[in-house]
Chain A
Amino acid sequence: MMLNVSIYRYNPETDSEPRMQDFQVDTGGKDLMVLDVLELIKSQDTTVVYRRSCREGVCGSDGLNMNGKNGLACITPLSETVKNNKLVIRPLPGLPVIRDLVVDMSLFYAQYEKVEPYLQNDTPAPAIERLQSPEDREKLDGLYECILCACCSTSCPSFWWNPDRFIGPAGLLQAYRFLADSRDTATNERLAKLDDPFSVFRCHGIQNCVNVCPKGLNPTRAIGHIRNMLLTRAT
């Protein structure tokens, strides 16, 4: 069975504009992962460029847009995405393309950096470690698992229009991860930095982020928690 695959090709150094290139791939009748198909395509045309590393959904390198939906190529089986024997693969939307399926993630990382994604605690460090009750530790579940693949932020219209001012679902999920941490003492300072009309409040609850997260995380819920914290702090 030959699968029809259409791949976004663009080399800003030599091409005046992007184009789609069609390939026929022999899947051997197996339900391969999209990343396997890309490897097969690379054996046909070595100039096709994409990122990947772990090939098992932990590194977050191969976030791609497959038949219109963002996801990790390595853990997306063909049966989940292919319709009418056709697979269209594009880079993650909204970020500048470096080459073919590889995007420049600088804007995405800049937003991540803004939320200061590290524990801040100005009390003297204890001899061994800062302890946390099992209940407090539980509050971090569904937050710490994020692999920063950017599938969520690049599917969010608010992030497309304001990637320089709206932190986006991935960054906000991490913002809440540190707001919710019982060991972090910078809660107020963190909240103060989020109270402008863009950083958090550009989220209109469209939930595209929830829909695509390959780790099954829920940024919209975390954003709701941040909003409630801001509200409690201000009223």
Chain B
Amino acid sequence: MVTAVTSFGRSGLSDWLLQRISAVILLAYFICIGGTLLGGVDYASWKAMFELTSMRIFSLLAVLSLAAHAWIGMWAVLTDYLTERLMGNKGNVLRIAFQILCSLVIFVYVVWTVQILWGY
């Protein structure tokens, strides 16, 4: 078995399953938001919607799904193209650097979302 400590769930199956589940959650969220926008919103109704605890939980779930989805996706891309096989040791250095960058960006987005959702 090939070991992979930086993959999300460390198992191919769990990554694969999570990738599908998070995609479904994101789709549902965007349909919900899209539907609301198409139905017409103003500031007051938009604000009221995001004051509902259910909407905040749904939004948080969507952002966490996005975070997992992005991590799994970026990990797959990086381990395809930035590898020791393709570019020697430079591949390892670049890949780890990009992974750290990705996790930082994802982390900031998650914290920022929580702040937006519960901060106003």
Contacts and interface: CB of A to CB of B under 8 A. Distances in A.
A132 B64 CA distance: 49
Contacts of A201: 12-13, 15-16
Nearest to B75: A197
A194 B13 CA distance: 9
Nearest to B16: A201
Given A195-B1, A196-B3, A198-B2, A231 B83 contact: no
Interface in B1-33: 1-4, 7, 10-17
Interface size range of chain A in the complex: 20 to 34
Give the interface SS of chain A, mostly helix, strand, loop or mixed. Answer: loop
Contacts, number: 56
A200 B17 CA distance: 13
Contacts of B79: 162, 198
Given A196-B4, A197-B12, A197-B75, 9 more contacts: A158-B80, A161-B83, A195-B12, A196-B2, A197-B7, A197-B10, A197-B76, A198-B79, A200-B12
27 contacts: A161-B80, A161-B83, A161-B86, A162-B83, A162-B85, A165-B2, A194-B12, A195-B11, A195-B12, A195-B13, A196-B2, A196-B12, A197-B7, A197-B10, A197-B15, A197-B75, A198-B2, A198-B79, A199-B1, A201-B12, A201-B15, A201-B16, A202-B76, A227-B13, A231-B13, A234-B13, A234-B14
Interface of B: 1-4, 7, 10-17, 75-76, 79-81, 83, 85-86
Interface of A: 158, 161-162, 164-165, 192-202, 227, 230-231, 234
